[in-house]
Amino acid sequence: MSQSTETRTKLSIAEAFDSLMREPLPLRITAYDGSAAGPEDAPYRFHVATERGLSYLMSSPDPDLALGRAYVSGDLQLFGAHPGDPYEALKVLKHGIKFRRPTPAELVTLVRSLGISHLVPPPPPPEEAPSRVRRVFEGFRHSLSRDAEAISHHYDVSNRFYEMVLGPSMTYTCAVFPHEGATLEEAQAAKYDLVARKLDLRSGQRLLDLGCGWGGMVRHAAREYGVKALGVTLSRQQAEWAQEEIKRQGLDDLAEVRHLDYRLVGEGSFDAVSSIGLTEHIGVRNYASYFGFVKDKLKPEGRLLNHCITRANSYQSTRTGEFIDRYVFPDGELAAPGRLVSAVHDAGFEVHDVENIRVHYARTLAGWCANLEANWDECVAEVGENTCRVWGLYMAGSRLAFERNEIQLHHILAAKVTDDGSNGFPLRPTW
């Protein structure tokens, strides 16, 4: 700006945002007061549509939560990108928006210009979960009751909504694309088969799938390998859908999905355990007890395949950001792969293979966003526009994070070794 905010008596909303930039805006910003900033021919435009939106942006100390609230509520509008897949616009934001810290005098001018009343936070959108502090009243973090509430918040949305976003596989975990031209459905089937091969599943064996979702791994193991498979999930809607699909496919004699906390599984002596996308929900401090539980459920020489999102390094916080915690995965935690490998190893397993498939998750998320965009009107009719905006924002943002190596996805394959050191593995991998 040619004139600093110290010498200005009042700034418009757009001018206020522009004054906080270290570099010229790469997009257009407009506001309900008629102000505008940024290039007129920019491919994307953010519009602060209401005073409530301005209050969301000014009142939260966390920028991601502030932007998320305003966007989810519809008070911050994005033009130039579909809300089902705002990926390209987020790339511009990520690469081009560089805030600077205002001086105390500038801060006073900004607050006076925009109104001190906007520092009072409005009620959050109804899609937002309570804060971590308030969730204490729902039980201790990762207690049975609080975990059930956290899972229900995200997964008990609408099975029809998930069918439209995830596609026919109803698989809400990272796919594995066998080649460049593979479809999302082919990649999800390839993922399940890769897990099955790593576990060396064979007819007549027993598989326990922890956090089974809609039962994709359970059905694949039963249908393709003749395995007797039990899956458990904390989502009642997932369990009901999975059981109906098992019956529809005629797999009742081999496959079962229960609405049950994994800690309450009574059976044991399984040949294999798959944990696909559950570890993110159990809490880092519970790794020891979790992998100890898994080991106790396995036969000697039984195998574990743990599939989960991980941090790119050990220096990042294990807690997710405020937007993800409030709108997507309450109480979710992520650790670096080394921490997970150590936890598996220290539980008494022998770790045999670690594979990073993060680039596959970026592609998976692109497929889900494309599905949401293609089915937008029906999705909005099913769960409401606010919820659909949450999904578009978080999936596109997650895609960008995987592409930028900010988060990763690891498979950890391990075996329960016998007392005499036998692990049941051949000399070289077969998968």
| pLDDT per residue as tens digits for the range 225-257 | 999 999 999 999 999 999 999 999 999 999 999
- What integer is the mean pLDDT of 126-134? 84
What are the phi and psi torsion angles at 386 (to 5°)? -60, -45
Amino acid in position 154:
H
**Confidence check: pLDDT of 106 > 80:** yes
Which range of residues forms the domain containing residue 74? 5-119
Instruction: Pull the structure tokens for residue 351.
Output: 């770790």
Q: Which of 57-66, 136-145, 415-424 has the highest mean pLDDT?
A: 415-424
97 & 229 share domain = no
HEC string of 238-289?
Answer: HHHHHHHHHHHCCCCCCEEEEECCHHHCCCCCEEEEEEECCHHHHCHHHHHH
Most confidently modeled range among 7-21, 137-151, 379-393: 379-393
Q: What confidence category does residue 23 fall into, taking pLDDT thresholds of 50, 70 and 90? A: confident
What is the spatial distance between Cα 377 and Cα 132, in angstroms, rounded to a whole number? 33
Say if residue 165 is in the same domain as residue 80: no
- Which segment of 95-109, 142-156, 164-178, 230-244 scores lowest on mean pLDDT? 142-156
Average pLDDT for residues 253-269, to the nearest whole number? 97
Q: Assess if residue 342 is contained within a domain.
A: yes
Does residue 125 lie within any of the structural domains?
no
Q: Is residue 347 part of a domain?
A: yes
| Whole-number Å distance between alpha carbons of 257 and 266 | 14
Mean pLDDT on 95-107: 85
Q: Average pLDDT in the 141-146 region?
A: 57
For 187-216, what is the mean pLDDT?
98
Residue 158 lies in a domain: yes
Q: Is the pLDDT of residue 142 over 90?
A: no
Count of alpha carbons within 13 Å of 359, Cβ hemisphere only? 5
Confidence of residue 363 (pLDDT cuts 50, 70, 90): very high
- Reply yes or no on whether the pLDDT at 174 is more than 60: yes
Q: Do 195 and 98 share a structural domain?
A: no
Report the pLDDT value the prediction gives residue 324, as an integer from 0 to 100: 93
Q: Are residues 150 and 113 in the same domain?
A: no
Side by side, which strands form the sheet with 298-311?
Answer: 255-259, 228-233, 206-210, 270-276, 298-311, 407-416, 349-356
Residue 69 has pLDDT above 80, yes or no: yes
Tell me, yes or no, whether 421 lies in a domain: no
Q: Is residue 150 part of a domain?
A: yes
Of 17-31, 145-159, 260-274, give the range with the top mean pLDDT: 260-274
CATH at 307: 3.40.50.150
Model pLDDT, residue 135:
65
Asked whether residue 118 carries a pLDDT value surpassing 90, the answer given is yes
Q: Both 197 and 113 in a single domain?
A: no
Are residues 369 and 263 located together in one domain of the fold?
Answer: yes
The number of distinct structural domains making up the chain is 2
Task: Give the span between the Cα atoms of 217 and 200, in whole angstroms.
Answer: 14
Better-predicted residue by pLDDT, 135 or 269: 269
pLDDT value for 2:
43
151 plus 85 within the same structural domain: no
Asked if pLDDT for residue 148 goes beyond 70, the answer is: no
Q: Using CA atoms, how far apart are residues 419 and 288, in angstroms rounded to an integer? A: 21
pLDDT, position 4: 47
Flag whether pLDDT at 281 surpasses 90.
yes
Does 384 lie in the same domain as 319? Answer: yes
The share of the chain scoring above pLDDT 90, in percent, equals 84
In this structure, the answer to whether residues 153 and 97 fall within a common structural domain is: no
Separation of alpha carbons 285 and 305, rounded Å: 20
Pairing of strands 28-31, 45-48: parallel
Asked whether residue 115 falls in the same domain as residue 190, the answer is: no
Structure tokens at 221: 């193991």
Residue with tokens 């459920």: 297
Give the position of tokens 């979960």: 129
Span 10-35, mean pLDDT? 93
In which order are the strands placed within the sheet that holds 36-37? 36-37, 28-31, 45-48, 76-79
- pLDDT score for 151: 53
In a domain, 261, yes or no: yes
pLDDT band at 209 (very low <50, low <70, confident <90, very high): very high
What is the residue-averaged pLDDT of the chain? 92
Cα 25 to Cα 263: distance, rounded to the nearest angstrom: 51
- The highest-confidence range among 47-51, 92-96, 136-140, 328-332, by mean pLDDT, is 47-51
First-residue to last-residue Cα distance in the chain: 60
Q: Are residues 42 and 154 in the same domain?
A: no
Please list the residues that pair with 355 across neighbouring strands.
411
- Residue 344 falls inside a structural domain: yes
Q: Is the pLDDT of residue 36 over 60?
A: yes
Is 89 in the same domain as 196?
no
